[in-house]
Structure 1
Amino acid sequence: MDSPTMPQVSLQHHGADDTGATLDSLADIWADAHTGDDDVAQAGFTPETLRRQITAHTRNDGFTLITASSDGCPVGFAYGFRCSPGYWFGEQLLPTITAQARTTESFAGICELAVRTDWQRRRIGTRLHTALLNALHTEWVSLLAMPGDQPTQQLYRRLGYTYAGPYRSGANGPILDLLLLRTQEATTDSTTAWLREHWPSQLSTPRLRLRPVAAGDAGLLERLWTDPEVRRFLGGPVPADRLGARLAGAAGRPGHFTVFLPCEGQAVGRVTLDEDHRAPGRAEVSYEFLPAYGGRGFAAEAVGAVLRWGHHAVPGHQLIAVTQAANVRSRNLLQKLGLVAAGHLVEYGQDQVVYTVTAPGR
């Protein structure tokens, strides 16, 4: 359903009040996405039932619609709303759901995600999903999928969903797969106040622009987190069942910058500054860049900018970086920026070197 090719697509958020005007477009996208899908037709799902469903769902708290367009042409959408686990699962299924999900007060249901046939396999589904999760902003989300729709099932597995049980809507309705995902909201919400006070921020260097990570960066993040070369010294590629949760917690997270190369109109990497979980009073800088943009000094330029920003954003915190002892290129970069090796530790089963900042970044 998705592939590495990234089209020029913009996302737009809608609430309950302005969704009615989009119903014709949504029904057309949905019909196109399910062209030739006999299982959907046999289950009784039609563009008209979709219209009625969306109209009814706009009455729910936190209703959110995300649409994707290219050159003004709608190509995809996703929508959902916040609700209680009991409302979503129903009385019969609720006792079978994991205790954390059925007792949470932070839950949402995703009702539809559709992309036009000609626009599938371009990561638009992933981008819509990520934007919707960030807008709903709940710890748990759930959705329904046709059991025989393998491309869609594959996408949801890659995003981290797990099977929660069979679901039947009405006595004569089709049996669907109920899928469940825990997002990273708890981690995102625990971001310390000292960093939130200086966010959002945008940074510039002679060649680069650094801005907060956005929902539209999902394709870049997925490439960074699954590329074996990028992840060689970072514990390996992120497992498929954890990717969705990572993406859900990425956009807008304080201290996390997407690195953009204006001359090529391309996002090339990510630099982050987080409170160090190993010791209080420390903040750790980390970075990942696409291999195609290595060897041109972009990483040093971007990391240096974040270190200078961090020197003012987190006064009183010691700035550090941690890299594998075997990662010679990373160690050389950190030393070039004026960091000094101050100790060793073991993570991911490998020897790591802890570098500390003696100057706020060159």
Structure 2
Amino acid sequence: MADLRITMRHEVRESERRAPIVPADAARLVRSGVALTVERSPQRIFPIADYLDAGCVAAEPGGWRTAPTTDFVIGLKELPDEPAKLTHRHVYFGHAYKGQRDAAALLGRFAAGGGALLDLEYLTDADGRRLAAFGYWAGYVGAALAVLRHRGRLFRPLRPLTKPALDRELRPSATDTPAKVLVVGALGRSGRGARDALAVAGIEPTCWDVAETASLDHAALLDHDILVNAVLVTAPTPPFVTTDLLRQGPRRLSLIADVTCDVTSRNNVLPVYDRITPWHDPVHQATDVGDPLGIIAIDNLPSLLPEEAGVAFSAELTPHLLTLAEPGLPWQRCLRAFREACRANGLETESTHV
């Protein structure tokens, strides 16, 4: 294996508790000859001492900025606003290829610095299936929060838990009001997670997938208390719910949990809200839609179960990190997606990297 140096950066978002590489897998990388630097982080669920025990080197937050440009920088969520020019190859969820807000500005930073974005959303096999994903845990947490909100037991502000602790909150009691729940995208990873959480809650949901969304029954959709949207949309799709639809008359639907969170994307199938919801205020009340409608749209749901989600994701990602130095087809697909997105935004990419 060619020399491979990776820096796992500190996450600038305070509510981000996960890590793309957990200590056990960090040890595996180090044993395989990877030089792994881990930035210190006050909120990461896995302590820096565990990474040092695994053979990693510690660095201060933001140290990646001065690392050699041949290093890979890995994270999960958004980069800080500086530097203006990005010179490294960054591995993370960039959310910049579907027309999202500020996408052009981010891609412009990479184009200006000669760096590259290897977006984890586009790390796929030949059939387009993701090779490392948080989808299951996003669906699990999204459905769980929706049920707790419906039962009047949603804790605020949200805080990270273990799965056993969340399940204790989720199990039904004799006084709970029954909920009729619809999961759209029920057969995918996120949908499976949502269905498992609902099973803990004692709820048998209505399950829709490709066949049902091809010709959507809007009246049936509105005849549910909760809609859990777990659909992975890769191209513009007719919306499932619109403001006009909600205004048309009485409906049972009172809460949407949008696991997908494509709110600023051209692929948004729920154009009835315009911002994600934060941990301290997780439910947005939609206005001017007739009867009350709450929306949960948290774009880092798995961070509420950071240990379980991190361990599962890291296990899937680690084998592919070992191939970064001599990029195989999955990483080449990531690089191709980056270059195509730059061209679509009128940017010339003069990347110094393969």
TM class by shorter-chain length? under 0.3
Structure 1 length as normaliser, TM-score?
0.24
Structure 2 length as normaliser, TM-score?
0.24
Higher relative contact order structure (alpha carbons within 8 Å, sequence separation ≥ 6): 2
Bigger radius of gyration: 1
